Structure 1
Amino acid sequence: MNVAKVFAVTVLAGSVSIGLALFGERWLDPDDSAEARRLAVGSPDGLIETLPDLRLPRLDGREVRSSSWAGKLLVLHLWASWCLPCQREMAILDSWQQRYANQGLQVVGISIDRADAVARFLEAHPVDYPILLGNIETVRLSKQLGNRTGGLPFTVIFDALGRRVFSRTGELDRAVFDAEIAPRLAQRR
């Protein structure tokens, strides 16, 4: 085989490889629907649509992953010990957790506060759901989940499949439970 043929075959093979690398992923992907792309990268408005892989510590330092709540209706609640609306809301969330845990509800608090302040607060106001310690990355993530102002309290709900179905900055009340949580719990039965 002459050198010119080897060179031509090498250039052709290289060109095909580069072309597939650049364009092939979309061309060869059988699930290239707009919905699949939207869920993979977030919504058109830049919000994250699915439960992210969170890894946050509890007060005792043990790391907890969001995957540990797979299959549950998950209510993530960002709060701080100095936030009065957060404190009022925690009592409501605690009652929901106690009453509906056996139906698949999981409330998780993520404190945007110092660990010592969280420990003091929980000593005086214990709750029956996990409390994790957030950080600056958690605040950034909350904005991607719908907390555009970065305010507290912030609550985001994920269905049993991990899809974001609700988010709100500000205090929750019974009406939110009735509209956003109760129907999803009823669907699980």
Structure 2
Amino acid sequence: MNPAKVVLVTALAGGISIGAAVLGQRWLDQGADRDRQAGLRGGTLDQLPDFRLLDLGGREHTSNAWAGRPLILNFWAVWCPPCATELPLLERFARTHAETGIRVVAIAVDRPETTRAFLAEHPVDLTVLLADLEAIDLARRLGNRVEGLPFTVAFDARGRRIFSHTGALDQAQFEQLAARLADDPASAR
């Protein structure tokens, strides 16, 4: 190969790599700027924040109702196939670990009527709350930077965020999470 072509291709590839890195860093910095303007440290919340959401019956639920207990929040939507697959696993997990004090809350990122219709066909025995715009922002602040679904975040009994994951979890991953929550001395009540 011609040495001039090798130098040209190398320089072009290097320029593209540097350009992509600069643009990517600017994109990440813009997100960090938004987080700083909102008063967030490091872009994510490390503690269970105070929030209020409505359930399908219009009753308000507050995060402080779960204070002192391990908590799993799962953001999901009717239109999300991995969410629909994960929801029965989440319910089974909640039922299996109810006596350990772990609470599971499913937050539907969808319209109330759509969520009601879905749950009428696929009933689950979970606390289901309805996301509003603040809840969607909450998910981002809790670690869902790509704003994907499903998104699961867990808090220990002290309210510390110990786990967050974008994408569906399988039964083994839920059990690993339960083990982490059970290892917390504050969870043993």
> Structure 1 segments of 4 or more deviating over 4 A?
none
Residue 119 (structure 1) aligns with? 116
What is the SS of the residue equivalent to 1:121?
Answer: helix
2:144 paired with 1:147: yes
Aligned ranges 1:61-80 → 2 under 5 Å: 61-80=58-77
Q: Deviation string for 1:109-147 (max 9, x for gaps)?
A: 111100001101111111111000001111111111000
1:104-183 residue pairs with structure 2 within 5 A?
104-183=101-180
Contact 1:112–1:133 (8 Å) recurs in 2: yes
Q: CA deviation at 1:101?
A: 0.7
Within 1, Cα distance between the matches of 2:148 and 2:180?
27
| Aligned pair partner of 1:91 in 88, 96, 103 | 88
Q: 1:71-129 CA distances to partner (integer Å, 9 max, x unpaired)?
A: 22111000111111001111111001111111111110111100001101111111111
Considering only CA atoms, is the larger Rg found in Structure 1 or Structure 2? 1
8 Å CA contact retained: 1:104, 1:185? no
1:77–1:153 Cα contact (<8 Å) kept: yes
Aligned residues: 148
Supply the distance in 2 between the matched residues of 1:138 and 1:186 (Cα, whole angstroms).
Answer: 29
Contact 1:42/1:49 (8 A) holds in 2 = no
**Matching residue's letter, 2:124:** V
The TM-score with structure 2 as length reference comes to 0.74
Task: Give the drift of 1:186.
Answer: 4.8
Q: Distance in 2 between matches of 1:91 and 1:174?
A: 10
Cα drift, residue 177 of structure 1: 2.0
Q: Which amino acid aligns with 1:77?
A: N
What runs of 5+ residues in structure 2 fail to find an aligned partner? Answer: 1-38
Counterpart-to-counterpart distance in 1, 2:63 and 2:99: 19
Residues 106 and 129 in structure 1, CA contact (< 8 A), matched pair in contact too: no
